[in-house]
Structure 1
Amino acid sequence: MSSLSTHVLDTALGQPAQGVQVRLYQGDVVLATGATNDDGRIAELAPKLEHGTYRLWFDVASYAAATSQDIFFPEVSVTFTVADERHYHVPLLLSPFAFSTYRGS
């Protein structure tokens, strides 16, 4: 089984994005929820993931409101496939008009 963590960085402010609400879905079922800590991390959102397709949903609108920012994307969904037993780390880099993500370690 694989595990999952995430990290959200606000590239416009040059700091971790604290308090971002995150949900993990498989299909339409919510498997886990959490909020990023002071370092913008959720160290263990899901300790055990079977092989399959999952979606991370990030509430960017609430974070933007809390930090007094105008932002183009009110939410971000990242769909990914777990295909092996390794740890999955999915960082999210935010700016007012863009976002990027990748598979980290």
Structure 2
Amino acid sequence: MPIVHCHYKTCRKAHAAPFASTAGVRRENFRWLSGINSISRFESSPGKLRHFYKRCGSHLVAERPAQPHVIVRVATLDDDPGLKPEAHIWVSHDVPWLEYDRVCQHSEWRDDI
């Protein structure tokens, strides 16, 4: 499924960011490769489970068990998924301070910012 940037209020808060980059993966194509004992889960809203890494709290995957896919948090992947984002969704939930194209961009941190 495509990568999208989700601006929904609970996604923003779960990631402490203005949006969360996600991609759906069909259940038959998803599996944990290792570390399953280091994963914890939390039901953030009725029927929605969020899976976290116990040691650092990184939000890895979300799911609604009745759906045919899981929602992978793309920023947690080690390798390039080979896809580019296709859309921003739930932009009606944007925070008022979010600016897309009107701010300077720097390739690295600068002390003079």
Q: Structure 1 length normalisation: TM-score? A: 0.24
Larger Rg: 2
Q: Structure 2 length normalisation: TM-score? A: 0.23
